[in-house]
Copies of this chain bind each other. A is one copy, B any other.
Amino acid sequence: MATLADIGVAAAINILSAFAFLLAFAILRLQPINDRVYFPKWYLKGVRSSPTHSGAFVQKFVNLEWRSYLRFLGWMPAALKMPEPELIDHAGLDSAVYLRIYLIGLKIFVPIAILAFAVLVPVNWTNSTLENLKVVYSDIDKLSISNIPKGSQRFWAHLVMAYVFSFWTCYVLLKEYGIIASMRLHFLASEKRRPDQFTVLVRNVPPDPDESISELVEHFFLVNHRDHYLTHQVVYNANKLAKLVEEKKNMQNWLDYYQLKYDRNPSKRPTRKTGFLGLCGKKVDAIEFYTSEIERLSKEEATEREKVKKNPKSVMPVAFVSFRTRWGAAVCAQTQQTRNPTLWLTKWAPEPRDVYWKNLPIPFVSLTVRRLIIAVAFFFLTFFFMIPIAFVQSLANIEGIEKAVPFLKHIIEVHIIKSFIQGFLPGIALKIFLIFLPTILMLMSKFEGFISLSALERRSASKYYLFLLVNVFLGSIIAGTAFEQLDTFIHQSATEIPKTIGVSIPMKATFFITYIMVDGWAGIAGEILRLKPLIIYHLKNFFLVKTEKDREEAMDPGSVDFGSSEPQIQLYFLLGLVYAVVTPFLLPFIIIFFGLAYVVFRHQIINVYNQEYESGAAFWPDVHGRIITALIISQLLLLGLLSTKHASQSTPLLIALPILTIWFHRFCKNRYEPAFVIYPLQEAMMKDTVEQAREPNLDLKAYLLNAYIHPVFKDGEDDDNFSIGEEQEYDNTLVPTKRQSRRNTPAHSKCDGSSSPPQL
């Protein structure tokens, strides 16, 4: 069992590594050559077009000003300086609200930790149960609930604290839900005109033998929304075309690479092999090869483009229908159109950037089946994935390693190495497993057929959370292979399960402390270093970049990856709430995580990330729900734990807690969730009225004409009858209001100068 000293060593290691990451970041970010890696957001916003420092040639690549190195943590206050409204304007509501998740962590756990250390630590410490039992124990256990004798009256303290902590958590959640709901509504209300405010996505248009889909849609809405229907945009199945375009772009990259190589070294024509990945097959001249490939793809693309446009079968039974007013769109999105509730399904269109075009052609009928398949697949993934984790965890135990590799015994027995292994290994093994998971889960979500990126991310996040809950949390508490556990639970009664888990909880505190340090502290510090984008940028810069535009494209600002990072935060909420009463010693580690992560992500969001879409914090109900879940789990586990402690007077009083929490959840759901799903008519009418008064002659139809067109047709250089490019024009002539605050996509980057970069 790990002692306080072990933890200390692990903490030292992790703090040092985190510090090393931060130091490396501080140095690297000051180099002008890395400027586009660490401040891409400002480039995309068009505020910055070259590193701020200018001077000699060397200074273009290396920062020689020694004073700037002294203030190497100066970015931290700078990151905190930007006020929230400006942050929303700068990076969008999604990012600003995402940061609030970390803030909530601090709001919940700082008071809880203070109270726990003031009340529970003395209550636990002043016992001598563990000493009397003469069992092996660590100092951490002396601080935990394990040190209280069975049947003691002191459990009243834990009971009262459980109530206080739950109420505090609920209070913070309630306040926060209210704030974020009003932020969202304010954000939506203060937004400038956007195509999705007027547009509804219609799915499962029934086939008609006499009319084309486009005619059918037009007629249907002309009849049933006669005063409100404006125009519509059918959806083409352009997946194959998009693939060709993608392939062509890839070929173009290779061509550029070889061209550049040849330019630098004109003596030798670059060659490549034609086989698999260029590793085998006939050797050919690379430049010729790629030029001919691109030619072939261009032809294919043109044919396919023609085919998509001409063939009525490439029109999907899906359409984006736009209305004259926001009111009309809000009505259509919230109502059922026909007798058969599976036909003419209407819902808000996601904003154009947010549409996941690939999934639009999926036939609606197959969606239920797809979800069933993924549900089963996810079940198996969750429960079979546990086998390797349990295996690694069994290795991570010192005695196990000594037995398995006896010749390493005398190395392992060295004190520092032992502490290192104990403190580091289990956490890092788990972490490696988890790196590849989000991608798999995202693929699963895509298969389920969601049609917006934001929905995909939310769905992946739910899956990932479940996975972490079963595998990391439960899997670490009750070691054992996958089905062993499942089997145990099935054959135990409903009251036995919390007992089994609850009893093991105090024993696992040290493991989770090391996990928090490795995953949380060092992980977050690693995040700010952006090692992968740094390397890739320099590689691209060296091999591909010819023009300034190429350099722009080589930047990979990335974005907050909600699908994988939010569930990880949720794991810390779970750990914090579960251990708050049991082993309060764990709380400071969690608080440090939330604080560090808040600063780091605030910096990243201001300077680096560029969100792909803006959902207006639509993910908040999920975040809220998962914190509530964590709270209920913690209450049940405490109930299980206490029921083994013979505290029969106090334990039954805990039963009310989960019931009240569920009731609280339902209350919040009724009160606040609609704000994240529905667009109220009053708001719509207000915006319509204001707009009508301000711009009575607005040509909305022209504005909406090409808003929802597949990006393949938008990017196309060929001139086709989809009349692309006009949007920008209309946008400028007809919409003189400033739309800058929403322009944080690469496409619209150069025209925004409202906010300035942080002062370094």
Hey, which bits of chain A sit against chain B, CB under 8 A? 182, 185, 223-227, 330-331, 334-339, 341-342, 344, 368, 372, 490-496, 663, 667, 670-675, 678-683, 685
Contact = CB atoms under 8 A, between A and B. Distances in A.
10 contacts: A185-B339, A331-B331, A337-B682, A338-B683, A368-B667, A372-B663, A490-B494, A490-B495, A491-B493, A492-B493
Given A494-B490, A685-B224, A670 B335 contact: no
A388 B344 CA distance: 55
A673 B182 CA distance: 33
Contacts of A673: 341
Contacts of A227: 227
A681 B339 contact: no
A369 to B, nearest CB: 10
A673 B672 CA distance: 25
A741 B458 CA distance: 51
Q: What 3 A-B pairs are tightest by C-beta distance, nearest first?
A: A341-B674, A493-B493, A334-B335
A222 to B, nearest CB: 11
Contacts of A224: 681-682, 685
Number of copies of this chain in the oligomer? 2
Contacts of A342: 670-671
Nearest to A189: B339
A678 B678 CA distance: 17
A683 B335 contact: no
Contacts of A494: 490, 493-494
A112 B678 CA distance: 47
A344 to B, nearest CB: 8
A185 B340 CA distance: 10
Given A490-B493, A492-B493, A493-B490, A680 B337 contact: yes
Contacts of A682: 223-224, 337-339, 344
Nearest to A679: B336
A66 to B, nearest CB: 55
Given A227-B227, A490-B493, A493-B496, A680 B339 contact: yes
A423 to B, nearest CB: 37
A492 B490 CA distance: 10
A683 B337 CA distance: 8
Contacts of A331: 331, 335
A683 B492 contact: no
Contacts of A670: 341-342, 368
Nearest to A678: B336
Contacts of A496: 491, 493
A336 B674 contact: yes
Given A491-B493, A663-B372, A667-B368, A681 B335 contact: yes
Contacts of A681: 224-225, 335-338
A327 to B, nearest CB: 8
B334 A334 contact: yes
A670 B338 CA distance: 14
A223 B341 CA distance: 30
Contact of A335 (B335, B339, B491): B335
A675 B185 CA distance: 31
Given A330-B335, A335-B335, A490-B495, 18 more contacts: A224-B681, A224-B682, A225-B681, A226-B685, A331-B335, A334-B334, A335-B681, A336-B680, A338-B681, A339-B682, A341-B672, A341-B678, A368-B670, A372-B663, A491-B495, A493-B493, A493-B494, A494-B494
A225 to B, nearest CB: 8
A670 B336 CA distance: 12
A728 to B, nearest CB: 34
Contacts of A683: 338-339
A638 to B, nearest CB: 18
A226 B491 CA distance: 62
